[in-house]
Amino acid sequence: MKEDLENTELETAESNDELFERFAITIDKGQEALRIDKFLMQRIENATRNKLQRAISLGMVLVNGKPIKSNYKIKPLDAIIIYSDMSPEQTDLKAEKMELNIIYEDDDIMIINKPAGMVVHPGSGNYTGTLLNGVAYYLQQQNPALNDDVLPRFGLVHRIDKNTSGLLVLAKTDVAMRHLAKQFFDHTISRKYVALVWGDVEKDNGTIVAHVGRNQRHRKLFEAYPDGEHGKDATTHYSVLERFSYVTLVQCVLETGRTHQIRVHMKYLGHPLFNDDFYGGDKIVKGTVYAKYKQFVDNCFSICQRQALHAKTLGFIHPTSGKEMFFEAPIPDDIEQVIEKWRKYGKQKNEL
């Protein structure tokens, strides 16, 4: 068996908010016949047998455009595409009763408006109180046969930050999960965010293109790398909605879904998100030195005690009906109140 592949494309999800990554492999002409699951274990770094078997069973491993079984034997020049679940292995997910703002549900999908302060899925340091803990309880009430040992991951194919509010879609079936994962990877999902950022954004419209990857010294932070020497490609389109002298309300449309992408890209542009404690927005970035102004900003911080970012709209093709679906979540009160305060402040400043 030849060790080299003629064409291999590996797209890692280290810094993705989409929880599936795509591998594309074209088999070498000299490749001997080998079970596809064994072959992929050898070729994909950090792959686990469980995740590969799950991807195959869900039809998320395609050979020459068609789903296959785990005993399929690869052939020379086969074109393999894998949509693989790359989220952390989930164990001991406990159902917890909690308030869930479900704005739409059918047999295939759920649309949830997540509040700020809620973690999406269990992970290091956050094993309870997450959105999925609440979804587990909700689904158990619908189907008592589900128990904590066999609860699925509910087709979570993307996530938003703990302190970002807004819309998430969850798949309730394997078919729906496969379709949604592909739409996210192919960037056909429509996602629009509203953000309040520091400074008067120069252009009414623009596009930020800069790789996003982990900061080389502080692993919890991400950084923009405009030369592409690190991280993953990332594109954010923005447009100005309203200007308030020292801050600007913008709409951001994601073309890619990297972790902290909007927060990192806006900081790179010179306009960190208002009250973003990770990326320098939790202090006065623009404005005057007067004590009254500092008091005004501190009052705004006390109202919106997180980055002023909201996932406002979400659009996609329904995985079963094929119809275009579109959802919108109103801007939450904390951001709305701060916007109104800045609107009044900007009006007063302009009248002086």
* Catalytic residue set: 161
CA dist 250 → 3, 47, 161, 327 (Å): 49, 39, 18, 19
CA dist 164 → 159, 233, 308 (Å): 10, 22, 8
| Sign of the C-alpha dihedral computed for residues 40, 41, 47 and 53 taken in this order | positive
**Token pair of 142 as six digits:** 């619908």
Coil, helix or strand for 262?
helix
Length of the chain: 352
Contact 205, 217 (CB under 8 A): no
Residue keyed to tokens 């402040």: 345
180 CB contacts (<8 Å, ≥6 apart)? 109, 155, 157, 169, 171, 189, 316, 319
CA dist 101 → 98, 312, 328 (Å): 10, 14, 13
Residue keyed to tokens 């128990």: 147
One-letter identity of residue 66:
K
Phi and psi dihedrals of 189, rounded to 5? -75, 135
DSSP β-bridge partners for residue 8: 25
Task: State the Cα–Cα distance between residues 120 and 168, nearest whole angstrom.
Answer: 9
**Token pair of 224 as six digits:** 């923009």
Among residues 34, 42, 71, the alpha carbon closest in space to that of 56 is found at: 71
Contact 249, 175 (CB under 8 A): no
